[in-house]
Amino acid sequence: MSQFTDFLAQFNNFLTTFFIILLLLVFFYGQNWQGWYAGQQIKKSLKGLNKWKKHGINLIRKIIEPISPEGITTREINDFINRMLDFFVIPPVQLDPPIYGKLRYLMSYREERYSKLIKQFLPNIDKSSLATISALLNATTEIHNLHKKVRHNLIIGEKTKSYLFLLSTASEITQIMIKARAYRTAIDSFMKKSPIGDSIGPMAVNEFLKESQKNNNLNTTDNNHFKMKLQKCDHGIYSSEIIFEERRCICLRPNGPDVIVGNIGEAVENVILELRGEKLHPSILISIDAITRLEGEKLGTVAQG
């Protein structure tokens, strides 16, 4: 009995010593362990970002190689893709008053410059392939930039041994990977030339036109309340003009179904300028689009503004 009591006493002393040492280790090295764990999470995410970026580059290379001029080597194609991935635009200062006009000009010029660089490297490229490569480059560039940002934060955190900085970066990894995964999914859609986006705007316009035709019996010749005129506008937009309930309605939607979504802002501005040329002014402007759905919100909820 005494031996068992001595054993329990020794075991109790061992546990006490063990937990004291454990508490000391946590107290002195707890941040180090947290920083190491955060660093491992960041490195794992970096591998995923790098893998997705390479996937996008490989798809771009598959499109470029068959249409590239003779004599272009794989190394030159890779150099071209890497240059395009680092393409950047310097935005106007936020406090600059005419920021919208400058920003719109920059975005338009960016697309023009982007297309020009691709055409310089691939002189014989057709419009559809140009749009596909531009979309693939844009999506891959976003993943490339996210990869550079995360890698930068990881290296800075390890150099400065700032574990709080690593933990802060690790806390953002989930959102970064969700964003990168969306671009990764879009890359495959671009490659297949599938329609992108939610398509709620074009679908709403089409449903409106279909319902208008149905309700007003478009096939009858004695109907004077409904007329429709379809024409192609600039900036990749189609315009459908109808007389609905004695009101002139001009419905705009992207051409589709390619990866080009069109510049709806420029098209709307041109329509308004044309109406002003006819000494007319639109009484109401209705815009239909999808917004980001937050977790917990019901899918398909309609909000008005």
Tell whether 292 is covered by a domain. Answer: no
The structural domain count of the chain equals: 2
55 with 174, same domain: the answer is: yes
pTM above 0.75, yes or no: no
| Stretch 149-175: mean pLDDT | 85
42 with 117, same domain: the answer is: yes
C-alpha span between 266 and 105 (Å, rounded): 11
| Stretch 249-260: mean pLDDT | 74
43 with 186, same domain: the answer is: yes
Structural domain range at position 246:
200-277
Average pLDDT over the chain, rounded to an integer: 78
How would residue 85 be classed by pLDDT, with cut points 50, 70 and 90?
confident
129 with 212, same domain: the answer is: no
Give the per-residue pLDDT at 111.
Answer: 78
174 with 241, same domain: the answer is: no
Angle, helix 163-191 to helix 2-67, in steps of 10 degrees: 40
144 with 69, same domain: the answer is: yes
80 with 120, same domain: the answer is: yes
How would residue 4 be classed by pLDDT, with cut points 50, 70 and 90?
low
140 with 75, same domain: the answer is: yes
If one compares 263 and 257, the residue with the highest pLDDT of the two is 263
Tell whether 58 is covered by a domain. Answer: yes
pLDDT > 70 fraction of the chain, expressed in percent and rounded: 75
How would residue 115 be classed by pLDDT, with cut points 50, 70 and 90?
confident
51 with 147, same domain: the answer is: yes
For the chain, what is the largest distance between any 2 Cα atoms, rounded to a whole number of angstroms?
Answer: 112
pLDDT tens profile 224-236? 444 555 565 556 7
112 with 224, same domain: the answer is: no
Structure tokens at 208: 């409106």
For 64-93, the DSSP string reads: HHHHSPTT--HHHHHHHHHHHHT----PPP
pLDDT > 90 fraction of the chain, expressed in percent and rounded: 7
142 with 210, same domain: the answer is: no
54 with 164, same domain: the answer is: yes
Q: Report the range out of 73-87, 200-214, 233-247 with the highest average pLDDT.
A: 73-87
C-alpha span between 174 and 167 (Å, rounded): 12
159 C-beta neighbours (distance < 10 Å), count? 8
